[in-house]
């Protein structure tokens, strides 16, 4: 039996004694690894198959659907230049993270905004990370210094434990439900991408060290010749692996800021498992560590250009560093509990902070005890100390003294840190039970996978997800707000949405956005415009620099004739705050359109909006409505409406507006009819479209019965429309024997609108003894010029 020198964990130099160890069977080890990798892939797919139907949620909107930089892969620099983290840019999830942004651009290039492709990419990244973790743990255990337990050392010669234990670590880590937030929540792929590159940085370093022959017995596939001559050196291969490590580190720095600790962890790994001490590690690989440290320059540049992530992270936020630090004691203990018992899992814990030191004393004692144990272990049991440092170093950027104002706790922060907890558990249990622990590992994997499948069901739709979040965190105002945002889009759930917004405001009364959301919900209930106005006024008072608040307040004032000047002032304030606010330009144009003598100014505002966004259907329609009022510009108005229809052919209002314009154009009645019919195919319940279609049909010989049918359909939908009663009455006047029906319709029009002079005049003529049936011209019916 050949022997070789294998250092024990914690020793700094190779002992003179040797431990007998047979040559591992390279073929068997390779097949074991391939089998383990295949199971990890299939298990991941089984655990996350039901996540693919989950919608975009929360920050997915600003990171994906409203992110213009992912629309094109070429030029590549656009996809690698996400919007900076300014307060109003709306893309903070990817700000300063070009690789994460580029990955979203790849998704968009292949599947647009189809959500399953994004979920598939997330799962691919997570699976690759699990396979890399498997490689890191297996190669560490196959090295003598990596034997974390005496039993693992004793079983080393059998060849199976390193692969089995690495498989258990990677499988449990991949299937743990605590990972769902990083995998199923699409925009959180920044965390899993960073995790993948972090692990690759370490794995490539390990391969580099293997190629130098420094890690005695490190490779399970070493040939018998190499066992007799362990100091085989492959300098080129080693350098290539070192370059790969540095490149992976660079990609990680461009994925998420948590990568900052990677160079230090690699150095600590070198000291613990390869070189034996920091001095030797630095002496042998000085250039390598300088290269790793150089990646911090890229990270520093990216962080500096995010402007504190739009004022939400760093010491410049409204959150005091000490309050945030105190909160993290509780957060870290909570993460550890979820690692051991992952229930309940919560998407959003809110922004609650610890305000009294006494409230966190028990949590602080636990964390300080763990930190002290880690420091002691670094010298007494270096491998265990390495796991402790891994845990704290990865959590440090987000769970220390640097405030993250938008999230004081978040489960995705445990994505990579969880590996240390799982590894310590697996190795500890194996040290106690030996091979019998395999049954427990298998049972745990099945159980964790089932819980992950169940957790993914919460992401199936926003209503389920936010209802679950509110149930577990009733004091989280943001969760109530997002539940309200979900309910407000559902039929007949406006009162429930208002209740959620009000709950959010009770918890956070000084947040202007909550009042804006409540105001918009009130607008969806008839007769509640005053309530909406109150909320918008409150929002403007709380945040005078909110363009949205000024714009929404102006929108309510638009419907109050005597407040039109105030509406104009609000829209102008919104545009001063954000000169690119297209909606404010449109609203300002609409307000000016209602004011005498301001028609040219209204057109100017619409044209300004079109310069900002030439593909805006709403702006083309609004400009068409303004031009329709200018003598001699009917053809220009029609051109604008036609542009709107080309941009949004599936929008009923676009066809309706074009039909209205064509109805005013000589000889275009047939074209108008086609547009109204198109509008009705899309929205059969439009009373205005039925009404105007009837008026267009009256202009076509022989279509009188069809016109009457359209008026009657409009009245079934809206029996209180004075104009439609009038139009139907005029049409019936031309039908022999329908005089009484015509008069009934005209009288109904007068009851609904006593100021309708034309209806009164016709009735007076008909009631005159000399009035004759059919005396009223057939073109007297009115058509609605209302623009939608």
Lowest-pLDDT choice from 229-233, 680-684, 737-741: 229-233
Rounded Cα distance, 456 and 512, in Å:
32
> Cα dist. 399→322, 330, 664, 698 in Å?
12, 10, 66, 73
> Cα dist. 507→350, 475, 535 in Å?
11, 7, 16
Q: Which residue is it, tokens 């057939």? A: 778
Angle made by CA atoms 369, 373, 379, in degrees to the nearest 5: 160
For the stretch 561-607, pLDDT in tens is 999 999 999 999 999 999 999 999 999 999 999 999 999 999 999 99
Q: Provide the 3-class DSSP secondary structure of residue 4.
A: strand
Residue 639 included in any domain:
no
Residue 514 included in any domain:
no
- Looking at residue 322, what is its pLDDT? 84
Pairing of strands 19-20, 3-4: antiparallel
- Give yes or no for residue 723 having a pLDDT over 90: yes
- Give yes or no for residue 222 having a pLDDT over 70: no
- Looking at residue 232, what is its pLDDT? 54
Residue closest to 421 by CA, chosen among 724, 86, 179: 179
Rounded Cα distance, 224 and 511, in Å:
70
Enclosing domain of residue 79 = 3-325+438-450
Rounded Cα distance, 119 and 60, in Å:
12
Q: Please give the average per-residue pLDDT across 161-190, as a whole number.
A: 96
- Name the pLDDT band for 499 (thresholds 50, 70, 90): very high
Residue 147 contacts residue 156 (beta carbons within 8 Å): yes
Residue 700 contacts residue 670 (beta carbons within 8 Å): yes
Residue closest to 323 by CA, chosen among 403, 398, 394, 395: 403
Q: Provide the 3-class DSSP secondary structure of residue 305.
A: coil
- Give yes or no for residue 769 having a pLDDT over 90: no
- pLDDT, mean over the chain: 87
Count CA atoms closer than 13 A to 531's CA, side-chain side.
Answer: 14
Per DSSP, 17 falls in state S
Buried-state track 294-309, b at ≥16 Cβ within 10 A, e below 16: ebbebbeebbeebbbb
Residue 10 contacts residue 381 (beta carbons within 8 Å): yes
Which H/E stretch holds residue 660?
A: helix 652-664
For the stretch 274-304, pLDDT in tens is 998 999 999 999 999 999 999 999 999 999 8
Greatest mean pLDDT among 147-156, 230-239, 369-378 lies in: 369-378
- Give yes or no for residue 154 having a pLDDT over 70: no
- Looking at residue 160, what is its pLDDT? 52
Q: 109: how many CB neighbours lie within 10 A of its CB?
A: 15
Q: How many residues make up the chain in this entry? A: 788
Residue 663 included in any domain:
no
Angle made by CA atoms 759, 765, 766, in degrees to the nearest 5: 90
- Looking at residue 309, what is its pLDDT? 62
Residues 6 or more apart in contact with residue 77 via CB below 8 angstroms: none
- Looking at residue 401, what is its pLDDT? 85
For the stretch 661-713, pLDDT in tens is 999 899 899 999 999 999 999 999 999 999 999 999 999 999 999 999 999 99
Rounded Cα distance, 655 and 787, in Å:
11
Rounded Cα distance, 227 and 139, in Å:
16
Per DSSP, 314 falls in state S
Q: If you compute the radius of gyration of the chain from its CA atoms, what whole number of angstroms results? A: 35
- Looking at residue 766, what is its pLDDT? 82
Domain with residue 707: its CATH number is 1.25.40.10
Residue 369 included in any domain:
no
For the stretch 2-21, pLDDT in tens is 333 333 333 333 332 333 34
User: What phi and psi, each to the nearest 5 degrees, are found at residue 608?
Assistant: -65, -40
For the stretch 414-458, pLDDT in tens is 999 999 999 999 999 999 999 899 999 999 999 999 999 999 999
- Looking at residue 19, what is its pLDDT? 33
Residue 519 included in any domain:
no
Three-state SS string over 521-570 comes to: HHHCCCCCHHHHHHHHHHHHHHCCCCHHHHHHHHHHHCCCHHHHHHHHHH
For the stretch 53-91, pLDDT in tens is 999 998 998 899 989 899 999 889 889 988 875 444 445
Rounded Cα distance, 486 and 480, in Å:
10
User: What phi and psi, each to the nearest 5 degrees, are found at residue 20?
Assistant: -65, 135
Distance of CA 148 to the CA centre of its chain: 40
Q: How many helices (H) and strands (E) does the chain have?
A: 38, 2
Q: Please give the average per-residue pLDDT across 215-239, as a whole number.
A: 55
User: What phi and psi, each to the nearest 5 degrees, are found at residue 512?
Assistant: -60, -40
- Name the pLDDT band for 351 (thresholds 50, 70, 90): confident
Angle made by CA atoms 226, 229, 231, in degrees to the nearest 5: 100
Q: Which residue is it, tokens 């656009």? A: 78
- Would the CA dihedral through 124, 129, 132, 138 be positive or negative? negative
Residue 379 included in any domain:
no
Domains contained in the chain, number:
2
- Give yes or no for residue 148 having a pLDDT over 60: no
pTM of the model: 0.81
Rounded Cα distance, 622 and 585, in Å:
11
Domain end: 401, 423, 450, which one? 450
Rounded Cα distance, 320 and 305, in Å:
22
Per DSSP, 313 falls in state B
Determine what percent of the chain is predicted with pLDDT higher than 70: 87
Residues 6 or more apart in contact with residue 343 via CB below 8 angstroms: 451
Q: Provide the 3-class DSSP secondary structure of residue 783.
A: coil
Rounded Cα distance, 127 and 183, in Å:
10
- Name the pLDDT band for 181 (thresholds 50, 70, 90): very high
Q: Please give the average per-residue pLDDT across 90-109, as a whole number.
A: 88
Per DSSP, 274 falls in state I
Q: 404: how many CB neighbours lie within 10 A of its CB?
A: 21
- Looking at residue 182, what is its pLDDT? 97
Rounded Cα distance, 58 and 187, in Å:
9
Residue 272 contacts residue 383 (beta carbons within 8 Å): yes
- Name the pLDDT band for 764 (thresholds 50, 70, 90): confident
Per DSSP, 19 falls in state E
Cis peptide before 134 (omega within 30 of 0): no
- Looking at residue 774, what is its pLDDT? 42
Domain end: 450, 479, 498, which one? 450
Per DSSP, 273 falls in state I
Rounded Cα distance, 219 and 210, in Å:
7
Residue 130 included in any domain:
yes
Residue 403 included in any domain:
no
Q: Which residue is it, tokens 């009645």? A: 669
Domain end: 421, 450, 479, which one? 450
Give burial (CB, 10 Å; 0-12/13-18/19+) of 27. Answer: exposed
């Amino acid at each position: 039996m050949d022997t070789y020198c294998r250092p024990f964990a914690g020793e700094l130099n190779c002992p003179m004694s040797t431990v007998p160890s047979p040559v591992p069977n390279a073929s068997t080890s390779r097949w074991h690894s391939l089998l383990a990798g295949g199971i990890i892939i299939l298990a991941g797919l089984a655990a996350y198959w039901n996540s693919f139907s989950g919608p975009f949620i929360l920050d997915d909107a600003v990171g994906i659907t409203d992110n213009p930089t992912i629309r094109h892969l070429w030029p590549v620099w656009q996809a690698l230049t996400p919007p900076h983290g300014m307060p109003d840019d709306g893309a903070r999830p990817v700000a300063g993270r070009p690789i994460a942004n580029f990955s979203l651009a790849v998704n968009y290039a292949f599947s647009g905004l189809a959500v399953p492709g994004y979920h598939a990419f997330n799962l691919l990244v997570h699976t690759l990370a699990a396979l890399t973790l498997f490689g890191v743990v297996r190669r560490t255990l196959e090295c003598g210094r990596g034997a974390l337990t005496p039993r693992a050392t004793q079983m080393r010669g059998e060849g199976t434990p390193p692969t089995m234990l690495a498989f258990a670590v990677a499988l449990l880590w991949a299937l743990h439900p605590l990972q769902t937030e990083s995998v199923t929540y699409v925009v959180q792929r920044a965390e899993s991408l960073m995790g993948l590159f972090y692990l690759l940085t370490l794995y490539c370093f390990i391969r580099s060290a293997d190629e130098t022959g420094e890690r005695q017995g490190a490779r399970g596939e070493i040939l018998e010749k190499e066992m007799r001559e362990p100091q085989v050196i492959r300098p080129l291969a080693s350098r290539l692996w070192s370059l790969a490590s540095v490149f992976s580190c660079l990609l990680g720095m461009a994925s998420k800021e948590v990568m900052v600790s990677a160079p230090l962890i690699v150095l600590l790994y070198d000291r613990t498992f390869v070189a034996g001490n920091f001095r030797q590690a630095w002496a042998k690989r000085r250039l390598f560590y300088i290269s790793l440290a150089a990646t911090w320059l890229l990270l520093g540049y990216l962080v500096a250009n995010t402007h504190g992530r739009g004022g939400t992270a760093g010491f410049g936020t409204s959150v005091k560093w000490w309050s945030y630090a105190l909160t993290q004691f509780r957060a870290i203990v909570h993460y550890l509990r979820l690692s051991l018992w992952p229930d309940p899992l919560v998407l959003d814990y809110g922004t609650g902070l610890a305000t009294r030191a006494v409230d966190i004393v028990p949590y602080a004692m636990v964390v300080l005890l763990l930190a002290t144990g880690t420091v002691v272990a670094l010298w007494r049991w270096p491998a265990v100390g390495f796991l402790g440092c891994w845990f704290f170093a990865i959590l440090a950027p987000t769970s220390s003294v640097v405030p993250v104002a938008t999230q004081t706790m978040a489960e995705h922060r445990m994505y990579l840190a969880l590996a240390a907890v799982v590894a310590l558990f697996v190795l500890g249990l194996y040290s106690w039970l030996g091979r019998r622990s395999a049954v427990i590992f298998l049972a745990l994997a099945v159980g964790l996978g089932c819980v992950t499948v169940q957790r993914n069901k919460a992401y199936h739709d926003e209503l389920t997800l936010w209802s679950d979040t509110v149930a577990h965190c009733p004091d989280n105002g943001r969760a109530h707000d997002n539940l309200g945002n979900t309910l407000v889009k559902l039929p007949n759930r406006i009162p429930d949405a208002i209740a959620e917004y009000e709950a959010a405001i009770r918890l956070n009364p000084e947040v202007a956005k909550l009042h804006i959301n409540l105001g918009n919900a009130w607008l969806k209930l008839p007769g509640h415009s005053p309530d909406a106005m109150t909320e918008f006024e409150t929002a403007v008072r709380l945040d005078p620099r909110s363009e949205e608040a000024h714009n929404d307040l102006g929108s309510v004032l638009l419907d109050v004739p005597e407040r039109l000047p105030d509406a104009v002032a609000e829209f102008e304030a919104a545009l001063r705050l954000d000169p690119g606010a297209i909606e404010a330009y449109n609203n300002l144009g609409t307000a000016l359109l209602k004011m005498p003598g301001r028609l040219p100014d209204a057109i100017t505002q619409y044209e300004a909006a079109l310069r900002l966004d030439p593909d805006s259907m709403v702006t083309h329609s609004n400009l068409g409505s303004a031009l329709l009022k200018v003598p001699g510009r009917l053809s220009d108005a029609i051109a604008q409406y036609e542009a709107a229809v080309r941009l949004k052919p599936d929008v009923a209002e676009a066809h309706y507006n074009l039909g209205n314009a064509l109805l005013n154009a000589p000889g275009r009645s047939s074209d108008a009819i086609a547009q109204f019919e198109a509008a009705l195919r899309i929205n059969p319940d439009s009373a205005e479209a039925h009404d105007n279609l009837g008026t267009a049909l009256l202009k076509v010989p022989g279509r009188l019965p069809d016109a009457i049918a359209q008026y009657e359909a409009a009245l079934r939908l809206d029996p209180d429309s004075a104009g439609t009663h009038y139009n139907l009455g005029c049409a019936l006047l031309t039908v022999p024997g329908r005089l009484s029906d015509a008069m009934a319709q005209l009288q109904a029009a007068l009851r609904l609108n006593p100021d309708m002079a034309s209806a009164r005049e016709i009735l007076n003529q008909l009631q005159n003894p000399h009035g004759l049936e059919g005396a009223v011209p057939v073109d007297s019916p009115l058509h609605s010029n209302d623009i939608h």
